A and B are shown apart, each in its own frame.
Chain A
């Protein structure tokens, strides 16, 4: 699994930010830090749409006194948020858009839009050689071959 860390920042509480496209390669753990986002007013919560059908919601805990960092009170600006992106199953690359919405106590919303481009590994990189470990003979001369990939050691099956 690959990893990628991004940091978001803002200067006011109703800012709409469209970030430049970030390229991810294959199976990647994307981590987002909001430590640069303004706390001029206190945020109430953070809503994340990761763009692949998954959403997350985080309450803002301002009572984590022991965790106050650089005069930041909001847990949602201190914590880091991670999500696993998988490569496309229908094309060699895909484009997604992740959205981070930060809601403030005066009803302002700061929105960060993050376009993502995820490229699959090619066959050699993701599979490498395969080793045949088993074959099941079925009716009508069908066979299921069980193979183990060099990369990742996955068992995959091939129906012939």
Chain B
């Protein structure tokens, strides 16, 4: 890396060198005989020299696409050549046509790119190169160079964004461009009057002539998806940072400072002062470094302290209850509505009901309510699987519903709240009047964060349990296998017309089959682990038509990790799904009520091998006679304590505040820091030199170290084994 710089020469015969990195510097300090320089907040590409990032190919293997018709090479027909009077040298003649498949050997041509945008095109066939060439009749075809034709070079225009090329040859002083006319390549004049006809005849290539090398040195914020790939909009590029330059002797190294981190040294999309539809993340500008505040406390101290200012106070939210007090100053705001914060962007957890959603409570005795309703909480309405989320306030009627049920209840609008619903309600008197008949209702949140306000933030954690009322008392499968008792709980599930079964397994080498027992009837659920695959199969038997409808899916599980499976079916609505880890891997619908009142499964669930029970191959097997929503399936591992939701760092605006960052820097200057003596011993080891070279090294060190070491340092002894 080289720093960008330039020099100015001045009258008087001297010049000064100006480094871009040293323009607008924030602070300069000395420590342990070395210089530390704090730069301005800028892109690193503004202070380092940039390398050329694009290379041009010398030749290219590509197809030539004329509006989905691919130029295809053919060997010339010797019989037709003979009819034309060509009896010898037929191997020098090629031919072409067009096909719709551009992925064959005969559709791939070599384009040789020369200087000044000149190229030629050939097909390598049967140990000979057949060039696209203009013949004496001004027709285009493929010939080897043995025939003595010379018009095989073309001028080209290249459109890189489209990977399209335009080919030209000059005839009688007039440039002509190649286009496809019927099944032939023809040359058409390109003049000022008809230049528009050129660009409507592009020849698309399958490869780009240029290659980019992304050596952009600027810092970027990168998001990785569940599949460990980077989504298209998952990168925030060209972030600005302060840099700490550390200069020692003739070398300078550079430390990129942590301008994108919160005060807690965490990344959070929580800069409340940024607001743009274009931005997906709000991580930039969380800090601005202002000074090197710790100069020389002691010579032994190797820590350098940097002062920075920040404008967003972070709060770490862990699963469970968190209490915090808002900043005493929220400049530039006097107060801020929860929907104007960056809690959602930072990772707040939404759910269709407040029971499992992130909830915020404000300690406030000053609020009064009308009509007997009581404010319950502010919660994040939305699906944990994606989509828009909005903070809403839940109200309930204590006379009509218990608080715990009010938390679990669907809201008035039966869907997650959004502005459309709010407008619908506000604009419709009958709906508005009927709201009083509901026991709970939500409205877009009025919650304000005010200076010094006290708040509680509740986040889903493992101790929360699924509503016990929904659980069917089920004897575990282990008992079925070991005792052989058939408890026949499957009848209860069939009566309900819906059920959910879930369990966990390790992604090891063990194969197993979890299934509902069956008689001769071909019906029921089978979940089988075979090698690296999981095979879900649900057979629904329809006795009326004596037929079986099969729903099946084969997927890969996570090897060497704990996996979660959920299967749920509702024959009233006519839907079922297979769920693996964090997503639905198969969702199916069938006619409503088609299987209601009929048997879904024909026996209780079993594992085929008794040994698997003792080895706890499957764990936390759960069964309910309810259909489980996709959202609930998603959070089940959290509720079961099998996975933990990440801690969250939310922020509130706090005016400008100061904090300190430290840099641990191991000094390489050889002074004796331990005993404050100016005499040092130097030991050199692990060096493999012949004696004569070793003596040269000793002489060199002895003579040069005087210029390299601090003024007060004296070399006491130099030992080279």
Chain A residues within CB distance 8 Å of chain B: 26-27, 39-45, 59-65, 73, 86-92, 103-107, 120-123, 126-127, 133-134, 136-140, 146, 148, 152-156
* Bound-state Cα–Cα, A41 to B177, Å: 12
B25 in contact with A73 (CB, 8 Å): no
B117 in contact with A44 (CB, 8 Å): yes
CB distance from A139 to the nearest CB of B (A): 5
Across-interface contacts of B707 in A (CB, < 8 A): 138-140
* Bound-state Cα–Cα, A117 to B177, Å: 42
* Bound-state Cα–Cα, A95 to B181, Å: 54
Q: What are the interface flags for B1-20 relative to A under an 8 Å C-beta threshold, 1 for contact and 0 otherwise?
A: 00000111111000111110
User: B380 in the interface, Cβ–Cβ < 8 Å?
Assistant: no
A105 in contact with B155 (CB, 8 Å): yes
Across-interface contacts of A89 in B (CB, < 8 A): 6-9, 15, 17
A146 in contact with B159 (CB, 8 Å): no
User: B694 in the interface, Cβ–Cβ < 8 Å?
Assistant: no
Of B22, B30, B158, B196, the contact of A73 (CB 8 Å cutoff): B196
Interchain residue pairs with CB less than 8 A apart (25): A39-B192, A42-B195, A45-B116, A45-B157, A60-B157, A60-B158, A62-B157, A62-B166, A63-B161, A63-B164, A73-B196, A86-B6, A87-B7, A89-B8, A90-B15, A127-B16, A133-B28, A134-B28, A134-B29, A136-B33, A139-B709, A148-B25, A153-B25, A154-B25, A155-B37
* Bound-state Cα–Cα, A26 to B7, Å: 11
Of B9, B18, B24, the contact of A88 (CB 8 Å cutoff): B9
* Bound-state Cα–Cα, A98 to B709, Å: 48
Across-interface contacts of A156 in B (CB, < 8 A): 16-18, 22
Across-interface contacts of B22 in A (CB, < 8 A): 154-156
Across-interface contacts of A103 in B (CB, < 8 A): 116-117
A27 in contact with B6 (CB, 8 Å): yes
Q: What are the interface flags for B699-721 relative to A under an 8 Å C-beta threshold, 1 for contact and 0 otherwise?
A: 00000001101010000000000
Across-interface contacts of A123 in B (CB, < 8 A): 10-11
* Bound-state Cα–Cα, A30 to B568, Å: 68
A106 in contact with B30 (CB, 8 Å): no
B8 in contact with A126 (CB, 8 Å): yes
User: B323 in the interface, Cβ–Cβ < 8 Å?
Assistant: no
Of A41, A61, A107, A120, the contact of B161 (CB 8 Å cutoff): A61
In the complex where A123-B10, A155-B37 touch, is A139 in contact with B158 (Cβ < 8 A)? no
CB distance from B15 to the nearest CB of A (A): 5
CB distance from A149 to the nearest CB of B (A): 8
Across-interface contacts of A106 in B (CB, < 8 A): 155, 168, 170, 173-175
* Bound-state Cα–Cα, A139 to B707, Å: 6
In the complex where A40-B192, A153-B24, A154-B22 touch, is A63 in contact with B199 (Cβ < 8 A)? yes
A120 in contact with B8 (CB, 8 Å): yes
Across-interface contacts of A73 in B (CB, < 8 A): 195-196, 198-199
CB distance from B298 to the nearest CB of A (A): 19
Binding site secondary structure of chain A: loop
User: Which residue of the partner chain A has the closest CB to B708?
Assistant: A139
A155 in contact with B15 (CB, 8 Å): no
CB distance from B613 to the nearest CB of A (A): 67
User: B156 in the interface, Cβ–Cβ < 8 Å?
Assistant: yes
A65 in contact with B199 (CB, 8 Å): yes
User: Which residue of the partner chain A has the closest CB to B171?
Assistant: A106
Binding site secondary structure of chain B: strand
Of A62, A91, A107, A138, the contact of B711 (CB 8 Å cutoff): A138
A42 in contact with B711 (CB, 8 Å): no
Across-interface contacts of A45 in B (CB, < 8 A): 116-117, 157
B175 in contact with A155 (CB, 8 Å): no
User: Which residue of the partner chain A has the closest CB to B164?
Assistant: A63
User: B162 in the interface, Cβ–Cβ < 8 Å?
Assistant: yes
Across-interface contacts of B285 in A (CB, < 8 A): none
Across-interface contacts of B168 in A (CB, < 8 A): 44, 105-106
A154 in contact with B19 (CB, 8 Å): yes
Across-interface contacts of B15 in A (CB, < 8 A): 89-90
* Bound-state Cα–Cα, A63 to B199, Å: 6
User: Which residue of the partner chain B has the closest CB to A133?
Assistant: B28
Across-interface contacts of A138 in B (CB, < 8 A): 707, 711
- Which 8 pairs from chain A and chain B are nearest by CB? A89-B7, A155-B22, A86-B6, A63-B159, A44-B117, A105-B168, A106-B175, A105-B175
B6 in contact with A87 (CB, 8 Å): yes
User: Which residue of the partner chain B has the closest CB to A89?
Assistant: B7
User: Which residue of the partner chain A has the closest CB to B173?
Assistant: A106
* Bound-state Cα–Cα, A123 to B162, Å: 50
CB distance from B34 to the nearest CB of A (A): 9
User: Which residue of the partner chain A has the closest CB to B33?
Assistant: A136
* Bound-state Cα–Cα, A61 to B19, Å: 37
User: B202 in the interface, Cβ–Cβ < 8 Å?
Assistant: yes
A92 in contact with B173 (CB, 8 Å): no
B156 in contact with A41 (CB, 8 Å): no
New contact pairs (6) apart from A86-B7, A120-B9, A134-B29, CB-CB < 8 Å = A42-B190, A42-B195, A63-B161, A87-B6, A107-B116, A156-B18
B195 in contact with A134 (CB, 8 Å): no
CB distance from A87 to the nearest CB of B (A): 5
Of A41, A137, A146, the contact of B190 (CB 8 Å cutoff): A41
User: B562 in the interface, Cβ–Cβ < 8 Å?
Assistant: no
In the complex where A27-B6, A139-B707 touch, is A155 in contact with B116 (Cβ < 8 A)? no
CB distance from A91 to the nearest CB of B (A): 5
B11 in contact with A62 (CB, 8 Å): no
User: B160 in the interface, Cβ–Cβ < 8 Å?
Assistant: yes
* Bound-state Cα–Cα, A138 to B400, Å: 84
A122 in contact with B10 (CB, 8 Å): yes
A92 in contact with B11 (CB, 8 Å): yes
A87 in contact with B9 (CB, 8 Å): yes
* Bound-state Cα–Cα, A156 to B159, Å: 46
CB distance from B328 to the nearest CB of A (A): 35
* Bound-state Cα–Cα, A134 to B25, Å: 13
CB distance from B46 to the nearest CB of A (A): 12
Across-interface contacts of A120 in B (CB, < 8 A): 8-10
User: B35 in the interface, Cβ–Cβ < 8 Å?
Assistant: yes
* Bound-state Cα–Cα, A39 to B174, Å: 14
Across-interface contacts of B706 in A (CB, < 8 A): 139
Of A39, A40, A91, A107, the contact of B9 (CB 8 Å cutoff): A91
* Bound-state Cα–Cα, A107 to B19, Å: 43
Of B18, B24, B30, B192, the contact of A41 (CB 8 Å cutoff): B192
* Bound-state Cα–Cα, A152 to B327, Å: 37
Across-interface contacts of B6 in A (CB, < 8 A): 27, 86-87, 89
Across-interface contacts of A61 in B (CB, < 8 A): 158-162
Q: What are the interface flags for B217-257 relative to A under an 8 Å C-beta threshold, 1 for contact and 0 otherwise?
A: 00000000000000000000000000000000000000000
Across-interface contacts of B17 in A (CB, < 8 A): 89, 156
B23 in contact with A153 (CB, 8 Å): yes
Q: What are the interface flags for B166-200 relative to A under an 8 Å C-beta threshold, 1 for contact and 0 otherwise?
A: 10101001110100000000000011100110110
